[in-house]
């Protein structure tokens, strides 16, 4: 069914033809008076994001709302991108630029950056502490004697507890003195650490929301005290606040929505802003952060004086009837009341597997079959594999690279490399650019090059010495201190050198590393800024923008990392825990595959950020831009790679072909087993698991696969009615084919292409068979079929990893090769 409203809908029509339906149109055209709340509850694929984008356009075109008066917030960058993509189809570029569409965290971050200086005299530019920076901080400051501003105090606490203490103090859960007594800590030590963090502008990701809330409150307090308008201009400008993915809200985000809606609006008297929220309670999967499906109802209590209207959309544009029906039945035991605009498809597929490894192989080879058999109609990027944990993604990606040499891409909520060992690249760049808090980056890197027992104690000593030196050398940096010490060392007047005393281990080797590291920093800084200054002299905007490029940054990072001696650290696998006896060579190999993925992630992050930088009007260097935005700017994937994602990360996305990994590492049971057997009834159902399954299964546009440990006839009658265990024969199923073709908007390849695809698939199968039955080494065989037209043309037949020379190269060379290749 495609119930399309005729009159007003023509005005909301997109140039390429998507027209809002009647229920969508009711939401789009709903008024946006002050003191009103519009709640949109709708299921997966009903077009909530699509409808919100059209509503924004409608309010601007027909309701006298200026683009700059609209604030749109969501949880994830992906949701923000989706809204912007739809807006781009219906509004012009200039209008879109004036609308604020952002994630809660990024919005808060910009608010703090832009306005804190007006409200706090001694405000320092902030440095966002991601998880790894925070761990480094805890490692450096969690023990021994710390001396800050001349005071030396003793502290002794584990890094994990320190992290907890500081977070709890920050959110006001505990006072400093109470925390000190509870954790048996020196109160002065704790105070000094907090002061140090504030002085350097250190801020945790979650603190962004708290700080923004504080800023909003402080601006209102000033207004009350001073009695004159001291409002934050952006906030007082908004008249309409729109929140997508509302089912994911948790306490802090609700507080900020509350403050924003209640923030005074210029020329609007006492009236509060209009609020539109959209979400699906059945897709609430962030319980661990505090989100609850009921929040969509509880919001009414936050705005008692508001006129509230609730609307819904009962159709889905993503799911086939079969997938929609199965999802509701298996997840919640209910019939779906959603009508599919796509009509009939084929039943989802459930397959029995005997081990997790076997399931992974099945998935990969099924993707290969689908791509080959349809002559390249299906691209690798049309397929996504959904897992519960990142660990499973690592295992699948390892098999994909080692056995099949396939391209894959892991979807992450931010850029993956930031959460890995490559985080040290970020530290290098902070130092290179002398960003706020860069002395902390220096300490973090020093902790890595001196990796012997006692390194935390040595770093504390170094930090204390630097602080005493600072008494006579105000405002000079740790880098200056180290340089001064090393110059004295080279003049051999070194008996009294503090640095030498601290690093007396290792015959000078740490000192040498520090020395060459600092030199390389100076050299690379000169190179980069010389290029920038030369460009400034030309006064040509283009030349200035291109004066610091991703390639230059990569080269600098590489040179500095080499001088720092940090490549060993990057190339070394993480420790596997004492109890696991594992083959060391295997661990090393595994690490190299993962490292390859991280490097791609870093490289694409640079590329993506550079593209945004070139488009932006802001005056800054690319290095500045990258350091400010690398947490938020995530590259959009390419067509040649199969997608891998946890279910949480894939929320809000849709793919033609979806595989849900069924088997779990622990025990022989499928994680979903309670949903698939008669075990679960409406009373015993684990609703968090149900919602997670629902989110996973409703990502599928055409074909859905699920793994199980049991054969279909041993599963519940619901499973038997809503699934099949037969693999889809795409060319023989007209329903599935027409569904896929409409979905993909690509023509069916010619007969010849289909034929050669089939041929290639047979070659793949038979060579794989030979490989499996032969115990001899098998050399890499390129697929020599004439079908060189589709993306898998240079697909490599299984190669035992020992025969691959790719990773025998020196790791640093590999790194450089990979990094440069993509630039
Ligand atoms: N009126 C329409 N006509 C055609 N396609 C539509 C229409 N409305 C939405 N769609 C399409 O339906 C798909 C799902 O839309 P959208 O992502 O906005 O759904 P959603 O409700 O936000 O889903 P989820 O809750 O799963 O995140 C998109 O591909 C979108 O383009």
Reported as a single tens digit per residue, the pLDDT across 507-563 is 567 888 888 999 999 999 999 999 999 998 998 888 888 889 888 898 899 889 888
Residue closest to 530 by CA, chosen among 621, 441, 439, 430: 621
- Of residues 287 and 570, the one with the higher pLDDT is 287
Please indicate whether residue 44, judged by its CB atom, sits closer than 6 Å to ligand 1: yes
Model confidence band, residue 808 (pLDDT cutoffs 50, 70, 90) = very low
Model confidence band, residue 126 (pLDDT cutoffs 50, 70, 90) = confident
Task: Count the neighbouring beta carbons within 10 Å of the beta carbon of residue 291.
Answer: 23
pLDDT at 786: 28
**Would you say residue 325 has pLDDT above 90?**
yes
Measured over the CA atoms of residue 670, residue 675, residue 680 and residue 686, the dihedral's sign is positive
Please indicate whether residue 46, judged by its CB atom, sits closer than 6 Å to ligand 1: yes
The least confident of 167-176, 210-219, 702-711 is: 167-176
* Bridge partners (DSSP) listed for residue 71: 100, 241
Tokens for 402? 């080692």
pLDDT at 809: 27
Can you tell me which atom of ligand 1 is nearest the CA of 280?
25
**How does 185-206 read in b/e, with b if 16+ C-beta sit within 10 Å?**
bbebbbbbbbebbeebbbbbbe
Mutation choice for ligand 1 from 47, 278, 311, CB with most ligand atoms inside 8 A:
47
CB of 725 within 8 A of CB of 358?
no
- Of residues 469 and 67, the one with the higher pLDDT is 67
Q: How far is the C-alpha of 485 from the C-alpha of 495, rounded, in Å?
A: 11
Angle formed by the axes of helices 390-399 and 584-615, nearest 10°? 100
Residue 672's Cα: distance from chain center in Å? 26
Measured over the CA atoms of residue 534, residue 536, residue 537 and residue 543, the dihedral's sign is positive
* Bridge partners (DSSP) listed for residue 724: 349
Can you tell me which residue has the tokens 């825990």? 577
β-pairing verdict for 642-646 and 383-387: parallel
pLDDT at 68: 94
Q: How far is the C-alpha of 238 from the C-alpha of 497, rounded, in Å?
A: 59
Tokens for 487? 């110059």
Look up residue 401 and give its DSSP letter. Answer: I
Q: Does ipTM exceed 0.95? A: yes
Residue nearest to atom 27 of ligand 1 (CA): 652
Tokens for 774? 């032969």
- Maximum Cα–Cα distance across the chain: 88
- What mean pLDDT value characterizes the chain? 80
Does residue 524 sit in helix, strand or coil? helix
Rounded to a whole number of angstroms, the distance between the first and last alpha carbons of the chain is 47
Model confidence band, residue 211 (pLDDT cutoffs 50, 70, 90) = confident
How many Cα atoms occupy the beta-carbon half-sphere of 227 within 13 Å?
0
Q: Which of 146-155, 330-339, 690-699 is most confident?
A: 690-699
**Would you say residue 814 has pLDDT above 50?**
no
221, 262, 548, 624 from 269: Cα distances, Å? 18, 12, 49, 40
Q: Which helix (H) or strand (E) holds 819?
A: helix 811-821
**Would you say residue 733 has pLDDT above 90?**
no
Can you tell me which atom of ligand 1 is nearest the CA of 48?
21
293, 580, 644 from 652: Cα distances, Å? 16, 38, 15
The least confident of 128-132, 209-213, 767-771 is: 767-771
Residue nearest to atom 29 of ligand 1 (CA): 318
pLDDT at 512: 84
CB of 171 within 8 A of CB of 210?
yes
Please indicate whether residue 279, judged by its CB atom, sits closer than 6 Å to ligand 1: no
Q: How far is the CA of 481 from the centre of ligand 1 (A)?
A: 58
The total number of residues shown for the chain amounts to 823
Please indicate whether residue 49, judged by its CB atom, sits closer than 6 Å to ligand 1: yes
Residue nearest to atom 8 of ligand 1 (CA): 47
Residue nearest to atom 26 of ligand 1 (CA): 44
pLDDT at 749: 85
45 belongs to an annotated ligand binding site: yes
Q: How far is the C-alpha of 534 from the C-alpha of 528, rounded, in Å?
A: 10
Please give the torsion angle defined by the CA atoms of residues 206, 236, 263 and 58, in that order, rounded to the nearest 10 degrees: -90
Burial of 442 (0-12, 13-18, 19+ CB in 10 A): buried
- Of residues 137 and 621, the one with the higher pLDDT is 621
Task: Count the neighbouring beta carbons within 10 Å of the beta carbon of residue 574.
Answer: 10
**Would you say residue 398 has pLDDT above 50?**
yes
Please indicate whether residue 24, judged by its CB atom, sits closer than 6 Å to ligand 1: yes
Q: How far is the C-alpha of 61 from the C-alpha of 13, rounded, in Å?
A: 13
**Would you say residue 435 has pLDDT above 90?**
no
CB of 72 within 8 A of CB of 244?
yes
Does residue 274 sit in helix, strand or coil? strand
CB of 506 within 8 A of CB of 452?
yes
Q: How far is the CA of 316 from the centre of ligand 1 (A)?
A: 7
Q: Which helix (H) or strand (E) holds 69?
A: none
Look up residue 468 and give its DSSP letter. Answer: H
Can you tell me which residue has the tokens 């600072």? 470
CB of 331 within 8 A of CB of 694?
yes
CB of 646 within 8 A of CB of 389?
yes
Mutation choice for ligand 1 from 9, 24, 49, CB with most ligand atoms inside 8 A:
49
β-pairing verdict for 202-204 and 127-129: parallel
Q: How far is the C-alpha of 403 from the C-alpha of 361, rounded, in Å?
A: 10
Q: How far is the CA of 642 from the centre of ligand 1 (A)?
A: 22
Please indicate whether residue 598, judged by its CB atom, sits closer than 6 Å to ligand 1: no
Query: Where in 60-166 does DSSP place strands (E)?
Result: 70-74, 100-103, 127-129, 145-148, 151-154
Summarised one tens digit per residue, pLDDT across range 751-774 is: 888 888 888 787 777 766 544 443
Question: Starting at the edge strand that comes first in sequence, how are the strands of the sheet with 642-646 ordered?
Answer: 349-352, 700-708, 655-660, 383-387, 642-646, 408-410
Burial of 812 (0-12, 13-18, 19+ CB in 10 A): middle
Q: How far is the CA of 2 from the centre of ligand 1 (A)?
A: 13
H-assigned helices in 342-477? 356-373, 390-399, 423-432, 438-449, 455-470
43 belongs to an annotated ligand binding site: yes
Please indicate whether residue 50, judged by its CB atom, sits closer than 6 Å to ligand 1: yes
Can you tell me which atom of ligand 1 is nearest the CA of 244?
22
Q: Which helix (H) or strand (E) holds 704?
A: strand 700-708
Task: Work out the average pLDDT over 287-312.
Answer: 91
Residue closest to 390 by CA, chosen among 181, 152, 649, 206: 649
């Amino acid at each position: 069914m495609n119930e399309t409203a005729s009159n007003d809908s023509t005005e909301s029509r997109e140039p390429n033809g998507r027209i809002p339906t009647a229920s969508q149109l009711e939401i789009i055209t709903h008024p946006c008076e002050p003191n009103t709340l519009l709640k949109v509850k709708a299921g997966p694929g009903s077009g909530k994001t699509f409808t919100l984008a059209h509503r924004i356009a409608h309010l601007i075109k027909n309701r006298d709302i200026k683009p700059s008066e609209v604030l749109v917030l969501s949880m994830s960058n992906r949701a923000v991108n989706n809204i912007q993509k739809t807006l781009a189809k219906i509004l012009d570029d200039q209008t879109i630029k004036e609308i604020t569409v952002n994630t809660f965290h990024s919005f808060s971050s910009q608010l703090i950056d832009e306005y804190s200086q007006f409200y706090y005299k001694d405000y320092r530019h902030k440095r966002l502490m991601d998880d790894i920076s925070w761990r480094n901080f805890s490692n450096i400051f969690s023990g021994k004697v710390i001396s800050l501003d001349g005071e030396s105090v003793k502290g002794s606490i584990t890094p994990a507890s320190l992290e907890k203490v500081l977070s709890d103090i920050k959110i006001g859960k505990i006072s400093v003195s109470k925390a000190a007594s509870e954790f048996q800590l020196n109160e002065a030590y704790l105070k000094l650490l907090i002061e140090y963090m504030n002085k350097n502008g250190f801020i945790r990701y979650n603190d962004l929301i708290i700080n923004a809330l504080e800023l909003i409150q402080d601006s209102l307090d000033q207004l009350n005290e001073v009695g004159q308008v001291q409002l934050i201009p952006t906030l007082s400008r908004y008249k309409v606040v729109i929140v997508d993915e509302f089912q994911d809200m948790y306490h802090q985000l609700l507080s900020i929505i509350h403050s924003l809606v209640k923030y005074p609006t210029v020329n609007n008297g006492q009236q509060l802003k209009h609020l539109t929220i959209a979400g699906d309670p059945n897709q609430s999967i962030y319980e661990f952060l505090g989100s609850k499906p009921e929040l969509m109802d509880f919001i009414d209590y936050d705005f008692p004086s508001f006129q509230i209207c609730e609307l819904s959309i009962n159709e889905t544009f993503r799911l086939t009837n079969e997938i929609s029906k199965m999802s509701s039945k298996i997840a919640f035991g209910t019939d779906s009341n959603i009508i599919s605009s796509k009509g009939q498809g084929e039943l989802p597929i459930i397959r029995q597997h005997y081990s997790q490894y076997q399931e992974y192989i099945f998935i990969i080879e099924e993707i290969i079959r689908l791509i080959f058999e349809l002559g390249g109609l299906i691209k690798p990027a049309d397929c996504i594999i959904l897992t519960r944990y990142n660990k499973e993604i690592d295992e699948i990606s390892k098999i994909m690279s080692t056995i099949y040499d396939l391209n894959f891409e892991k979807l992450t909520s931010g850029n993956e490399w930031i959460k890995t060992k490559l985080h040290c690249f970020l530290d290098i760049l902070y130092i290179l650019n002398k960003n706020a808090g860069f002395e902390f980056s220096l300490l973090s890197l020093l902790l890595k090059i001196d990796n012997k027992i006692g390194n935390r104690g040595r770093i504390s000593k170094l930090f204390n010495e630097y602080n005493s030196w600072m008494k006579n050398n105000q405002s000079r940096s740790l880098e200056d201190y180290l340089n001064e010490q090393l110059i004295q060392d080279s003049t051999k007047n070194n008996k009294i050198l503090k640095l030498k005393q601290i690093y007396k281990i290792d015959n000078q080797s740490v000192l040498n590393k520090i020395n060459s590291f600092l030199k390389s920093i100076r050299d690379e800084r000169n190179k980069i800024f010389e290029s920038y200054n030369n460009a400034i002299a030309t006064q040509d905007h283009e030349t200035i923008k291109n004066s610091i490029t991703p390639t230059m940054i990569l080269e600098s990072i590489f040179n500095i990392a080499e001088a720092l001696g940090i490549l060993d650290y990057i190339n070394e696998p993480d420790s596997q825990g004492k109890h696991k006896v594992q083959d060391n060579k295997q661990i090393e190999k595994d690490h190299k595959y993962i490292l390859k993925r991280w490097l791609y992630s870093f490289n694409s992050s640079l590329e993506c950020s550079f593209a945004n930088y070139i488009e932006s009007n802001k005056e800054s260097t690319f290095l500045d831009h990258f350091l400010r935005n690398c947490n938020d700017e995530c590259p959009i994937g390419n067509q040649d790679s199969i997608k891998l994602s946890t279910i949480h990360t894939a929320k809000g996305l849709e793919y033609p072909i979806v595989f849900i990994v069924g088997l779990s590492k622990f025990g022989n049971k499928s994680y979903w087993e309670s949903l698939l057997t008669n075990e679960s009834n409406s009373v015993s159902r684990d609703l968090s698991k149900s919602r997670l399954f629902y989110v996973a299964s409703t990502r599928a546009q055409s074909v859905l696969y699920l793994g199980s440990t049991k054969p279909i006839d041993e599963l519940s009658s619901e499973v038997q009615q809503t699934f099949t265990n037969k693999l889809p024969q795409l060319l023989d199923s007209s329903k599935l084919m027409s569904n896929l073709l409409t979905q993909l908007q690509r023509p069916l390849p010619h007969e010849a292409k289909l034929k050669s695809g089939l041929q290639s698939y047979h070659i793949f199968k038979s060579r794989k068979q030979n490989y499996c039955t032969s115990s001899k080494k098998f050399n890499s065989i390129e697929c020599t079929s004439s079908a060189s037209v589709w993306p898998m043309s240079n697909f490599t037949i299984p190669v035992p990893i020992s025969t691959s020379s790719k990773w025998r190269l020196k790791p640093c060379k590999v790194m450089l090769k990979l990094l440069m290749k993509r630039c």
